Amino acid sequence: MLALLSTLALVCPVKKLAAAVKAIDQPGRRKVHTQATPKLGGLAILAGILLALVASHFLYGGVFNNHTLIILLGAVLTAGLGFLDDRRSLQPPIKLLGQLAIAVLVVSCGIDIDFIRSPFSLAVLELGFWGKVISVFWIMLVMNIINLIDGLDGLAAGIALISALSLFIISLITQQLQVVFLLLALCGAVFGFLRFNFPPASIFMGDTGSLLLGYLLAVCSIEGVLKSAAGIALLIPVLSLFVPLADTALAICRRLQKKVHIFRADQEHIHHRLLQVYDSPREVVVLLCGASAVLNFLAVLLSLTSGLASVLLGLVLLFILPLVALRLRKFLKRGAG
């Protein structure tokens, strides 16, 4: 609740700050919005999370430990990187280098996938160095998929809220309590921000917010899900973030097929194509968030299974999800035509 109220209270000051530093998103050919809109909304989200965690620590204790502090340091650095991008439009290689540095920092401090459990026994597969490589890749990947899906008012925030809520539930189920407070604060802050970001938005989260949300979802999925997961349950964070993951995968395939740079922006993301089928941006946001909610329900369901049941459910999902992505691609092509 405190994260929600803090974010609500801080949005107006952040709007003034965005105007003062000229972090304003102007309308353009690739833009859906029709009027100049302040960015930097991610600062209100970050501040709301930090205030809620500090208050919870004083009220209940046990909120902060070494891993939590490392995660929050990475969050501040990520928001700082996004702030620079919102102000100066960093080149993609520079932004990727900054993301890599942050990911390497937090992984080297212990925020990594160090083992995978067998779904049938207590056997553990130690990942060693490769666990750190996978963790760095995952953090950078989720940062960018949330950044890429942030193309409609409320879309990235809505999907992030749904994913954070499911990760919160799964962390409770699996007794990974070290990230429960953080995920609860994240849910509250994003929910408060949606009051101003749902179509028509009066403020954007900017890269300050999209990179921050991607970072927090990635590290919380590592600490709250992947460290306790049996091998097949590694699908849980993939299910939770399937909508932005599918959008990014389709974008990369599309750009490679057209032989253009994979960082070249276009208007062919899932939300852009759906706007050609549906009249209202609000309808598209509700549709994609609804799809994300269904997939996150499946993620929670998968976390409740074990042994053979988890393997069978995981294999079914491994078969179904690529088919869903292919059908979606065909549907969007027909809609665009």
Feature table: binding site: 147, 207
Q: Give which of 155, 194, 148 is closest to 291, Cα–Cα.
A: 155
Q: What is the 3-state secondary structure of 162-204?
A: HHHHHHHHHHHHCCCHHHHHHHHHHHHHHHHHHHHHCCCCCCC
User: Residue 117's beta-bridge partner residues?
Assistant: 124, 230
Cα–Cα distance list, 181 to 94, 169, 224 (Å): 32, 12, 11
For the annotated binding site for Mg(2+), the residues are 147, 207
Measure the CA–CA gap between 70 and 109, rounded to whole angstroms: 7
Tell me 21's DSSP state: T
Pair 26, 36: CB distance under 8 Å: yes
Measure the CA–CA gap between 321 and 308, rounded to whole angstroms: 20
